[in-house]
Amino acid sequence: MPIKTTKKVTNKKVVKEETKPAVEAKKEEVKTAEVKKATKPAVEAKKEKVKPAETKKAPAKKATTKKAAKPAVEAKKEEVKPAEVKKAPAKKATTKKAAKPAVEAKKEEVKPAETKKATAKKTTKKAATKTTTTKKVTTKKMTKEEQYAKLSLDTCLDLAKAMSMNVTRDSIIQQLILNPDVKSVSKDLVNKYQLTGKFNFEEDGYDEGLVEVLVSKVYETADIKPEKAEDLQADVDHALNYKFTDVVADGEEYKAQFDTMRKVLMIAQHKDIHDSKKLDEEIGIDVEKFVEEFMDLAYSVLKTWKYEDVDYYEHFIYAVLSQLEDLHDTYRNRIMMDVADLYILHGDYGLGDADYGYILRENQIKDYIYYRYASIYEGVDKDKAKQIANQALQFVDDRFTYYPNIIAVLEG
């Protein structure tokens, strides 16, 4: 078919347009019209005519249009070729490349906007995944010490129970009062409960290292810091003027004096004072008189209190006497006999007898020791009391001060 050429005058310029013939589809001919606007064909499969679709003009600045894109659609071995547009008229504007139509099978058209959204989502997802992966890689694993440091005191106590430790905050405070050194108290607890190598941090989540963390947290939160000297003077004066009354009142006074003695001990520990006379000058009280008063009250009160109270008193008073070395030399036999008597009165004869046996071996003058030993059993086991008094006669005769007292036990 011959090619027709049409002349058209636009703005005094002649624009030649060549139109190629459209492809036949089942003996029907698609006629070519004059091109006023750029035309794009849209193709439908399965024996349907090809209808040209209009392409919107795109504004341009004094330039000619570029070639339109050529869509290619295959439908049952038939190929449809769109008309080729060489030039398109424009008024001071030039169209850019026409958008390429995309045809999917089953007559569904893919929208460019949706494609962009899907692409954007994938890109965002990939970026997010990459960021997350980077975070995981760069996260630093906490050390055992850092994990322990983050534990609360209550959690530490729970873990201590899991390690079969029979401790509470108060019991640890009591140990710190006797010995304010955290490492030392921690080591004592580890040894007491035989924890060395018993637990593995990686497998159990705790080990013996937790003990020092626990003791340290108790020390930080407990009121075991030394007080000012002047705050103790009134309490000590009250203690020195107290008169024994009854079991209840004496018990309350013992608690008050125990607390005051604890504060005196802590001042001596923190100032590293080992002589009672120097401590007198530091806090302005008669320390030795106060220690004597406290021991007298404790011996009276603890006869009716629990066995555990005796055990704690023993450790506490020895801590006081160990700190003040001059008082230890003066009162060590007395305090050992006091504690031995209290154990015997609470039914622990083995420990009481062992303490008396030690004192008797360590002292040349034995009359008073035998008298104390025999007399405490008079209210518990008279036969044993007489047996002890009879044993005393191997070392004691009428030259000794307490000989008559020992004979009284034998004849009682």
How does DSSP assign 314-342, residue by residue? HHHHHHHHHHSHHHHHHHHHHHHHHHHHH
Q: Which of 9-18, 147-156, 228-237 has the lowest mean pLDDT?
A: 9-18
Please give the DSSP secondary-structure letter assigned to residue 72.
-
> For the residues 171-177, what does the mean pLDDT come to?
83
111 or 297: which leads in pLDDT: 297
Confidence of residue 109 (pLDDT cuts 50, 70, 90): very low
Residue whose C-alpha is closest to residue 209's, from 152, 147, 142, 141: 147
Cross-strand partners of 42: 51
* Residue 360 pLDDT > 90: yes
State the average pLDDT over residues 281-310. 95
* Residue 21 banded pLDDT, cuts 50, 70, 90: very low
pLDDT for residue 16 is more than 60: no
As a whole number of angstroms, the distance between CA 182 and CA 364 comes to: 40
Place of tokens 């005769």: 397
**CB distance 395 to 366 below 8 Å:** yes
How sure is the predictor about 263, in pLDDT bands with cuts at 50, 70 and 90? confident
Contact 185, 216 (CB under 8 A): no
Rg of the chain over Cα atoms, rounded to whole angstroms, equals 52
Whole-Å CA distances, 372 to 182, 298, 313, 344: 38, 17, 20, 12
103 pLDDT higher than 80: no
Report the pLDDT averaged over residues 275-287: 92
Q: How many CB atoms lie within 10 A of CB 171?
A: 14
| DSSP secondary structure string for all residues of 100-128 | PP-B-GGG-BPPHHHHHHHHHHHHHHHHH
The pLDDT, as a whole number, for residue 230 is 67
Token digits of residue 118:
């899907």
Give me the mean pLDDT over the 123-141 stretch. 50
Q: 402: helix, coil or strand? A: coil
Q: What is the mean pLDDT of residues 4-13?
A: 40
Tell me what pLDDT residue 23 has: 36
* pLDDT digits 0-9 by tens, 147-158: 998 899 999 999
Tokens of 20: 């190629």
pLDDT band at 283 (very low <50, low <70, confident <90, very high): confident
- pLDDT confidence tier of residue 13, bands split at 50, 70 and 90: very low
Token pair recorded at residue 370: 């035998």
Residue 291 · residue 320 · CB < 8 Å: yes
For residue 59, give Cα distances in angstroms to 40, 93, 251, 271, 303: 18, 5, 104, 94, 110
Structural domain 230-363, CATH architecture: Alpha Horseshoe (1.25)
- H helix and E strand count, the chain: 17, 8
- How far, in Å, CA of 233 to CA of 240, rounded? 11
0.95 exceeded by pTM? no
